[in-house]
Chains A and B, each alone.
Chain A
């Protein structure tokens, strides 16, 4: 990549780039109706990256499509750059760029023909050569799109998204299908977009992507946002985790690990604690004193991934309702072999 995009910067309304209140989206009617989005509230500040996380079917794309103005909400209110994405469609589209989760191209057009065609539909477009260079496609300019790899097609898609120098960019799983190098290139591009004043709302399955790019994270589950805030806010209060292979039945039980919750999950024993250092110290001290080996011992601080996985496992609600974990083994009494 060479040239990053230059958004024109916020114009007009100085409020949030995106504001969603009570958004609902229902597919179908009657007894077969399915509510994919169930009352989402979301605010995206200007000049920031917000990541919308969630498992498949959580409602991320359904939410994004309404915000992009591609679908109508069943209920609720959406403002994009202070405008209604449906009623003020022309103005919103001129100032935004959209990368769909899945989209297509006419395979018989070349890369450069595709970009020229798109440029004809964009206000004040970036030059085709600039777009090609930006996404490292200059060497593939005369190749028909059908001959591109999946990753190259994704980059072409991104070049189209950024061609109009949007001040607000919607990226639905932008790095899906990209190799690690291309993925890092996209991340760099997003960081430069934001450095120049653009706002980015993205969905992703890659937690590493969200951790690297997003100041603000919203985690969706079953059509609702179940966690929202900065990464630090989301992780705060979430327990760190120590895990080791469950010890065979023996004679001794684990010590009193104050403030920690111990559970077994098949072959693994998991200790969740709000104070990783104290709990780990106590556990290792006990192991040394008792001459116990803790097989495959591992410890990790609370992370976006651990919060996300708990949401995905459907356990987040429990954790949220019980922020101060109980002490000592609760699920099962654990025994150790000396």
Chain B
């Protein structure tokens, strides 16, 4: 380092104004940096931005406007949103930042733990929400109808994003390093995808599968977008859709509460020694 100019140190530019940082500014600053990091890594960027849109190509197959194709395409796009930007990328980022002592460093400042977690989860959640919104015009361009209850559809997506973010923090607690995340993420990924396998399973197993987060999200999409009952046997309008979505929303809420408790109890900010 060069020699120090002591006179410059007392310049007006260094005087303290007393202005305090806000929670919003802290989360925004950290989340922006986390988003930049996620997009700079080609793999996580592809996971976040490209992969979830691929299932929408399924809408090109079959008859235009076919409800089943819409449900299948949108549902799998959302499942991939939950699996990658919302869950896996967040898990990987949390474990990496923890092991590199980045989280420990950030905790020495004014940022609270809750703000730190929010800033980690926001890029994935933001991308997820943006993709969920983008899916609407894309699907409509490919022949899908406008969602019956867009608010319900976005509510289901939002709750699922919180749920999978909490699951990512919980998984991070027992994931030794970023490489191990490829294995430790499998149970949650199964929870996300198993919902679409209900038809292939015996009835009793299929009922259990309906209680998984992935199945609940699929049911909300069925009700909120294509205006069908969760079992796809009947149709619903905007007003009826709220009642029909009660059970899947409840399932999501229970999973979210459980995941938040697990994440809160198990969060680790430093690597184990």
On whether the two chains bind one another, the answer is: yes
CA distance A118 to B102 in the complex (A): 12
Interface residues of B in 2-43 (CB under 8 A from A): 2-6, 8-11, 13-21, 25-26, 28-30, 32-33, 36-37, 40-41
> Does A251 count as interface, using CB distance less than 8 angstroms?
no
Nearest-neighbor residue (CB-CB) of A193 within chain B: B9
CA distance A17 to B6 in the complex (A): 24
Interface residues of A in 171-224 (CB under 8 A from B): 181-182, 184-186, 188-189, 192, 195-196
Q: A120 near B1 (CB under 8 angstroms)? A: no
> Does B234 count as interface, using CB distance less than 8 angstroms?
no
> Does A74 count as interface, using CB distance less than 8 angstroms?
no
> Does B97 count as interface, using CB distance less than 8 angstroms?
yes
Determine the chain A residues whose CB is within 8 A of the CB of B3 once the complex forms.
1, 185, 188
In the complex, how many angstroms separate the beta carbon of A183 from the nearest chain B beta carbon?
A: 9
Q: B104 near A104 (CB under 8 angstroms)? A: yes
Interface stretch among A36-44, A109-117, A253-261, A300-308? A109-117
> Does B100 count as interface, using CB distance less than 8 angstroms?
yes
With beta carbons under 8 angstroms apart, the residue of A94, A102, A108 that contacts B40 is A108
Q: B37 near A93 (CB under 8 angstroms)? A: no
Determine the chain B residues whose CB is within 8 A of the CB of A105 once the complex forms.
100, 102, 105
Q: Mark B39-58, 1 if CB is under 8 A from A, else 0.
A: 01100000000000000000
Q: A188 near B111 (CB under 8 angstroms)? A: no
* Interface of A: prevailing SS: loop
Q: B19 near A124 (CB under 8 angstroms)? A: yes
> Does B61 count as interface, using CB distance less than 8 angstroms?
no
Question: Given A100-B105, A103-B101, do A130 and B110 touch, yes or no (CB 8 Å)?
Answer: no
With beta carbons under 8 angstroms apart, the residue of A103, A119, A165, A185 that contacts B16 is A165
Determine the chain B residues whose CB is within 8 A of the CB of A122 once the complex forms.
21, 109-110
With beta carbons under 8 angstroms apart, the residue of A70, A106, A121 that contacts B26 is A121
Interface residues of B in 164-206 (CB under 8 A from A): none
Determine the chain A residues whose CB is within 8 A of the CB of B40 once the complex forms.
108
CA distance A121 to B4 in the complex (A): 27
Determine the chain B residues whose CB is within 8 A of the CB of A241 once the complex forms.
none
Q: B4 near A109 (CB under 8 angstroms)? A: no
Question: Given A2-B8, A103-B104, A188-B4, do A121 and B97 touch, yes or no (CB 8 Å)?
Answer: no
With beta carbons under 8 angstroms apart, the residue of B13, B20, B36 that contacts A113 is B36
CA distance A118 to B9 in the complex (A): 21
Q: Mark A107-147, 1 if CB is under 8 A from B, else 0.
A: 11100011011111111111100100001100000000000
Interface stretch among A4-12, A226-234, A315-323? A4-12
Q: B97 near A106 (CB under 8 angstroms)? A: yes
Q: Which of B14, B18, B102 has the most CB of A within 10 A?
A: B14
> Does B207 count as interface, using CB distance less than 8 angstroms?
no
With beta carbons under 8 angstroms apart, the residue of A4, A121, A130 that contacts B109 is A121
Q: Which of B4, B10, B29 has the most CB of A within 10 A?
A: B4
How many chain A residues touch B (CB < 8 A): the figure is 55
With beta carbons under 8 angstroms apart, the residue of B4, B18, B97 that contacts A189 is B4
Q: With contacts defined as CB atoms under 8 Å apart, how many contacts are there between chain A and chain B in the complex?
A: 145
In the complex, how many angstroms separate the beta carbon of B116 from the nearest chain A beta carbon?
A: 9
Nearest-neighbor residue (CB-CB) of A186 within chain B: B1
Q: Which of B2, B19, B108 has the most CB of A within 10 A?
A: B108
CA distance A186 to B40 in the complex (A): 33
Q: A70 near B107 (CB under 8 angstroms)? A: yes
Q: B18 near A124 (CB under 8 angstroms)? A: yes
In the complex, how many angstroms separate the beta carbon of A76 from the nearest chain B beta carbon?
A: 21
CA distance A185 to B4 in the complex (A): 8
With beta carbons under 8 angstroms apart, the residue of A4, A102, A116, A119 that contacts B4 is A4
Determine the chain A residues whose CB is within 8 A of the CB of B97 once the complex forms.
104, 106
Determine the chain B residues whose CB is within 8 A of the CB of A157 once the complex forms.
105
With beta carbons under 8 angstroms apart, the residue of B1, B29, B106 that contacts A119 is B29
> Does A98 count as interface, using CB distance less than 8 angstroms?
yes
Determine the chain A residues whose CB is within 8 A of the CB of B11 once the complex forms.
3
Question: Given A102-B101, A109-B36, do A6 and B1 touch, yes or no (CB 8 Å)?
Answer: no
Q: Mark A157-170, 1 if CB is under 8 A from B, else 0.
A: 10010001100000
Nearest-neighbor residue (CB-CB) of A116 within chain B: B29
Determine the chain A residues whose CB is within 8 A of the CB of B17 once the complex forms.
124
CA distance A118 to B18 in the complex (A): 17
Q: A126 near B14 (CB under 8 angstroms)? A: yes
Q: A3 near B8 (CB under 8 angstroms)? A: yes
Determine the chain B residues whose CB is within 8 A of the CB of A130 once the complex forms.
13-14
Q: Which of A89, A121, A189 has the most CB of B within 10 A?
A: A121
CA distance A117 to B15 in the complex (A): 21
Q: A6 near B33 (CB under 8 angstroms)? A: no
Nearest-neighbor residue (CB-CB) of B34 within chain A: A106
Q: A120 near B19 (CB under 8 angstroms)? A: no
Determine the chain A residues whose CB is within 8 A of the CB of B112 once the complex forms.
89-90
Q: B9 near A117 (CB under 8 angstroms)? A: no
CA distance A89 to B4 in the complex (A): 33
**Which 9 A/B pairs are nearest by Cβ-Cβ distance?**
A120-B29, A185-B1, A4-B9, A104-B101, A104-B100, A98-B108, A103-B105, A117-B33, A6-B14
Q: Besides the contacts A90-B110, A105-B100, what 10 more A-B pairs have beta carbons closer than 8 Å?
A: A1-B1, A4-B4, A100-B108, A102-B101, A103-B101, A103-B104, A116-B29, A121-B111, A123-B19, A135-B1
- A: residues with CB less than 8 A from B are 1-6, 8, 68, 70, 89-90, 93-94, 98, 100, 102-109, 113-114, 116-127, 130, 135-136, 155, 157, 160, 164-165, 181-182, 184-186, 188-189, 192, 195-196
Would you give 8 A-B contacts (Cβ < 8 Å), ordered by A? A6-B16, A90-B112, A105-B102, A108-B36, A119-B29, A130-B14, A160-B105, A188-B4
